[in-house]
Amino acid sequence: MFENLTDKLDLTFRNLTGKGTLSEANIDDAMREIRMALLDADVNFKIVKDYISEVKAECLGERVLKGINPGQMTKSVVHKHLVSLMGEANVPLEFKEFPASIMMVGLHGAGKTTTSAKLALHIKKTLNKKPLLVAADLMRPAAIDQLEALGKQIDIEVFAMREGANPVVLANEARAYARHNGFDVLIFDTAGRLQIADDLVQELVSVKQILNPSEILLVADSALGQEAVSVADHFNQALDITGIVLTKLDGDARGGAALSMRKVTGKPIKFIGIGEKMEELQNFHPDRMADRILGMGDVATLVDNIQGQIDEDEAKKLEEKMLKNKFDFNDFLSQIKQVRKLGGLNSIMSYLPGGKKMMGGADVDEDQLKYVEAVVLSMTTEEREQPQLMRSNARRQRVAKGAGRPLLEVQQLIKRFNDMKGIMSQMGKMAQHMDEDGNISIAPDRQISAKKKKELRKKKKQKRKQGKKKRR
C-alpha cells in the first residue's frame, strides 16, 4: 500500500536533509517532487494543487530550529496536511435506533457482499452487538448464495427472501424479524450494477425511505483510482451517504482514492479492506494512514491487530512458562501460528517504521513458516514437550524425513528455538525482578542492607588480622 508514494516522498525529504535553511528555492524543488509523487499516485489534480499550495505556504513561514533539519520539518508539515486532507480523525459508526440499519451500496466488483460480511463480524467482535445480514440484492441469486456462505463461515445469521420479494417487502420483513429475535443491527447488502443507472438509484432511494438507516456506506474499489472518487460523488449526490469503505488497499493500487475521497465527497472514509480474510477490515485513522504514507509505520494498528487475534488465556499461559523457563516446541508452534494469523512477517513488518528497509526491500518467503510448522508437527508429543530430546541426531534425522525437509533445516530450526528459549528465559528473570512501575530491582532474597554489608566487611577485616597473627 502506497509503497511507490512512500519511496518518492522519502527521497524528497532526504534531498532536503543537510540544507541549512528552508529557502524558497529548495522548497519549490521539494514541492515539485511532492506534486509529481501525488499525481503519480492518482490523487485528484485539483486536490494536489490546493494541497501543495497549503504545504508550501506553511513551509515558507517555518524557521528551521536548532537540531531539526529542513527535511524533518518539511515532513512534519506534509504529515499535518495529509491528516487534514483525509479527515483528521476516525469517525465511528452511528446507531440511531433499535435495531439500527446499515445500507451497503456500490457497484459490482467493489467487494460489497464480502465487505458486508466483514463489517458484520467487526460489529460482533469489537462492538459486542448482534448483527443480522440481509441479502437485499434480489436481482442476483448468486449474491444471496455468496452472502449465506459467508454468514455460515463467520457464524452470523443471514435473512433472505428468494421468491416473490421486492426491496420494500424485504426491508419490512427483515426489520420485523430482527425486532422479534433480538438483533441490534441489520446490514443490508443492496443491489449493485456495473455502472450507476437510474433504476438502481431509484431502488436504493426507495429502500432508504423505508429504512431511515443509521448509516449508508459506499463500498468503493481503491484500484479504480479517480474513477472510484467519481462513483463516490455520484452516490453521495443521490443518497447522501454517511461514509465510505475503501477496499483492496492491500493490492497494487496507487492509493490516490484514499487521499481524494474525503475532499471530493465531504464524507469520511470509515473503514478500509486490507485483504481477503474476514478479519481484514480496519477502522480508518487518517493520522495512522499519514504515518504509513511517510514511512513512519503504524504501530497502533499493529497493536490493535495483535489484541484482536491473541487469546488472553494463551498469553497468560505463555507468560507463566516464560517465568518458569519451560518454553517448549508447542509454545514455539503457537507463536508461529500467531504470526501467520496476523498476516505473516511481511504484513507485520509493513506496520513498523522502516520495516521494508529492515528486510532490505525484499519480501519474506511466507512458505518458510509452513515448513517450520511441518517440522515441529513431525516431532512426537514427548519431543515437543521436552525439547532436550532433540539433541539426538537420530531423532533429528527422523523428524527431517517425516517433514520432508533437509536435515540442515531441522538443525537450524532447533538452533533458532534454543536462541528464542534463551531470550524467553532472560525475559522471565527480568520480569521476576520488576516492580509495579516497571523498574528492575534485585530479588528480595538477594538484597543486602547497608548495615549488613558493614558487619560483613568488619568480620572479613577481623579474619585477616587473625590470619596475620597466626603467621607470626
pLDDT higher for 310 or 239?
239
CATH of 307-432, one of 3.50.40.10, 2.60.120.260, 1.10.260.30, 3.30.450.20: 1.10.260.30
In 3D space, the residue among 6, 7, 8, 26 whose CA is nearest the CA of residue 16 turns out to be 26
Topology of the domain comprising 3-86: Four Helix Bundle (Hemerythrin (Met), subunit A) (1.20.120)
In 3D space, the residue among 399, 427, 425 whose CA is nearest the CA of residue 414 turns out to be 399
What is residue 107's predicted lDDT score, i.e. its pLDDT?
87
- pLDDT interval class at 442 (50, 70, 90): very low
In 3D space, the residue among 342, 228, 334 whose CA is nearest the CA of residue 275 turns out to be 342
How crowded is residue 368: how many other Cβ atoms within 10 Å of its Cβ? Answer: 14
Measured distance CA(355)–CA(361) in Å, rounded:
9
pLDDT of 359 strictly over 50:
no
Find how far residue 458's CA is from the centre of its chain. 62
Quick one: average pLDDT of 260-289? Answer: 89
CATH of 100-285, one of 3.40.50.2300, 3.30.2180.10, 3.40.50.300, 3.65.10.10: 3.40.50.300
Angle between helices 226-239 and 198-211 (to 10 degrees): 50
The answer to whether residues 184 and 214 touch, using CB atoms and an 8 Å cutoff, is no
Report field, pTM of the whole predicted structure over 0.85: no
Domain ranges of the chain: 3-86, 100-285, 307-432
203-207 CB contacts, 8 Å cutoff, 24+ apart: 203/167, 204/103, 204/105, 204/238, 204/239, 205/238, 205/239, 206/167, 206/168, 207/103, 207/136, 207/167, 207/168, 207/171
pLDDT, tens digit (0-9, with 9 covering 90-100), for 378-431: 999 999 999 899 999 999 999 999 999 999 989 988 988 887 777 666 655 655
